[in-house]
């Protein structure tokens, strides 16, 4: 098989006369496929012999020679019992080589990016990402997805609103035939500006989204108002000095902060001796985010988590919350680190 190992692209092209016009990368695929299967192709008397095209199961040969090359011009299954009948699935455009037992076929690698400016668009093999120009299309668009055939198991496809107008120009990602997406026979839609859906082909007729449509719907409902947690910067307060201690919430202007709890970690430099009393609120000595009675840390403490109660008002997410020591500790020393944790909200 040394003769196969040293074949050049030109030599292969010479033997594949009917393949004139095939991209050099495709010819290189065939060279790679055969060179990596030299043991299986031992005995090939005429490697890279072009033996015809295949569009139907009946087009497969009954007794091909080792090294024969075929081009699949349609999606097809080798299922004719009078032919090689391997049961393998092939896609239109596949170049396959007979090794005496099976066909060697380099799977199509989906790395292509397509910018969609007209609708509908049927996604071909080789395309991994479809960027939908929703502005240029100017209305609803349809992405026709590849059929979920066994050959495509493991394939991934990303569809993305490329120009940020899916709210008014929705994108319908439409499966073929009886294919189901997340167990539903129907299109999945992108209706959020700059939105995207990622699909994975997992079985014949079965496509899933990642995250699933159910996850996306649940997440959208959950995050319609809430946008995650906000944690304030830590502020050290002196428990021996009565007075206010402002704590800034680092959220964006125009949104809100719903406080959940605060942490107070008392220093280990002697701890508390007497009782330190303090309040928390949106103003010095305020109690609007705590019960009306001040909080008391009695005796020695090394750490404390204060779960907030009371009205828990939504305040500006870039506002200042104040911790006021209303009765100072009488010990030798005593400081505490204070931090607020809450939910950032759009309304």
Over residues 230-241, the pLDDT tens digits come to 788 888 888 888
In a 10 Å sphere around its CB, with 0-12 CB exposed, 13-18 middle and 19+ buried, how is residue 278 labelled? buried
| Residue 302 clears pLDDT 50, i.e. is over it | yes
Residue 69, CA distances (Å) to 40, 57, 217, 223, 346 in order: 15, 16, 48, 55, 62
In a 10 Å sphere around its CB, with 0-12 CB exposed, 13-18 middle and 19+ buried, how is residue 307 labelled? exposed
pLDDT in tens, 22-37: 544 455 555 555 554 4
Statement to judge: residues 68 and 125 lie in one domain:
no
Mean pLDDT confidence for 164-177: 91
Q: Is the dihedral of CA 75, 81, 82, 85 positive or negative?
A: positive
What domain count does the chain have?
3
Burial annotation 213-241 (CB, 10 A radius, 16+ → b, else e): beebeeeeeeeeeebeebebeebebbbbe
254 falls in which pLDDT band (50, 70, 90)? confident
**Token pair listed for 301:** 């403490």
| Helical ranges in the chain per DSSP H | 2-5, 9-15, 24-35, 134-137, 213-222
- Residue 206, strand partner residues: 180, 203
pLDDT in tens, 84-124: 998 888 888 888 888 888 887 755 566 788 999 999 999 98
What is the domain-level CATH number for residue 165?
A: 2.60.120.640
Statement to judge: residues 334 and 250 lie in one domain:
yes
Farthest-apart Cα atoms in the chain, separation:
99
By the 8 A CB rule, do 310 and 292 touch? Answer: yes
Q: What is the pLDDT of residue 219?
A: 53
Statement to judge: residues 98 and 40 lie in one domain:
yes
Statement to judge: residues 55 and 133 lie in one domain:
no
Statement to judge: residues 233 and 217 lie in one domain:
no
Name the domain boundary from 75, 105, 135. 105
Q: How many CA atoms lie within 13 A of 25 on its CB side?
A: 6
Statement to judge: residues 259 and 177 lie in one domain:
no
pTM over 0.85: no
Whole-number Å distance between alpha carbons of 276 and 268: 15
- DSSP 8-class letter at 151: G
Q: Is the dihedral of CA 14, 17, 22, 26 positive or negative?
A: negative
Please tell me which residue, 164 or 221, carries the higher pLDDT value: 164
Q: Which residues contact 343 (CB under 8 A, 6 or more apart)?
A: 226, 228, 229, 230, 257, 258, 260
| Residue 291 clears pLDDT 70, i.e. is over it | no
- Residue 121, strand partner residues: 143
Q: What is the pLDDT of residue 143?
A: 96
Statement to judge: residues 291 and 333 lie in one domain:
yes
Name the domain boundary from 194, 222, 250. 222
Q: Which domain holds residue 171?
A: 112-222
Statement to judge: residues 15 and 60 lie in one domain:
yes
Q: What is the pLDDT of residue 151?
A: 77
Statement to judge: residues 233 and 341 lie in one domain:
yes
338 falls in which pLDDT band (50, 70, 90)? confident
Whole-number Å distance between alpha carbons of 47 and 69: 8
CB atoms within 10 A of CB 46: 11
Name the domain boundary from 105, 125, 148. 105
Please tell me which residue, 222 or 57, carries the higher pLDDT value: 57
5 falls in which pLDDT band (50, 70, 90)? very low
The lowest-confidence range among 19-33, 70-84, 251-265 is 19-33
Mean pLDDT confidence for 234-259: 85
Statement to judge: residues 234 and 338 lie in one domain:
yes
Statement to judge: residues 74 and 136 lie in one domain:
no
Statement to judge: residues 211 and 239 lie in one domain:
no
Whole-number Å distance between alpha carbons of 292 and 294: 6
Q: Mean pLDDT over all residues of the chain?
A: 78
Q: Which residues contact 12 (CB under 8 A, 6 or more apart)?
A: 27, 30, 31, 48
Whole-number Å distance between alpha carbons of 99 and 259: 69
């Amino acid at each position: 098989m040394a003769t196969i190992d040293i074949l050049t692209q030109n030599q292969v092209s010479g033997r594949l006369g009917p393949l004139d016009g095939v991209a050099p990368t495709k010819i290189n695929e065939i060279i790679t496929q055969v060179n990596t299967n030299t043991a299986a192709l031992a005995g090939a008397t005429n490697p890279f012999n072009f033996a015809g095209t295949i569009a139907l199961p009946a087009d497969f040969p009954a007794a091909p020679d080792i090294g024969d090359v075929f081009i699949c011009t349609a999606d097809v299954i080798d299922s004719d019992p009078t032919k090689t009948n391997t049961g393998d699935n092939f896609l239109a455009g596949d170049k396959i080589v007979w090794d005496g037992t099976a066909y060697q076929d380099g799977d199509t690698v989906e790395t292509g990016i397509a910018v969609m400016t007209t609708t509908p668009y049927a996604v071909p093999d080789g395309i991994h990402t479809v960027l939908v120009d929703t502005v240029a299309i100017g209305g609803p668009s349809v992405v026709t997805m590849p059929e979920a055939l066994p050959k495509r198991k493991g394939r991934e496809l990303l569809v993305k609103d490329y120009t940020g107008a899916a709210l008014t120009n929705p994108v319908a990602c439409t499966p073929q035939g009886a294919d189901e997406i997340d167990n539903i026979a129907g299109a999945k839609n992108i209706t959020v500006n700059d939105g995207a859906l990622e699909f994975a082909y997992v079985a014949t007729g079965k496509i899933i989204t990642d995250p699933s449509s159910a996850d996306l719907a649940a997440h959208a409902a959950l995050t319609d108002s809430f946008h995650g947690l906000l944690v304030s910067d830590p502020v050290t307060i002196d428990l021996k000095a009565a007075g206010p201690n402002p704590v800034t919430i680092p959220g964006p202007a125009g949104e809100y902060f719903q406080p959940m709890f605060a942490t107070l970690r008392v220093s280990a430099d002697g701890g508390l001796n007497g009782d330190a009393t303090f309040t928390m609120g949106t103003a010095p000595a305020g109690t609007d985010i705590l019960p009306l009675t001040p909080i008391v840390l009695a005796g020695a403490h090394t750490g404390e988590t204060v779960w907030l109660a009371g009205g828990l008002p939504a305040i500006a997410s870039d506002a200042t919350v104040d911790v006021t020591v209303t009765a100072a500790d009488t010990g030798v020393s005593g400081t505490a680190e204070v931090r607020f944790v809450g939910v950032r909200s759009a309304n």
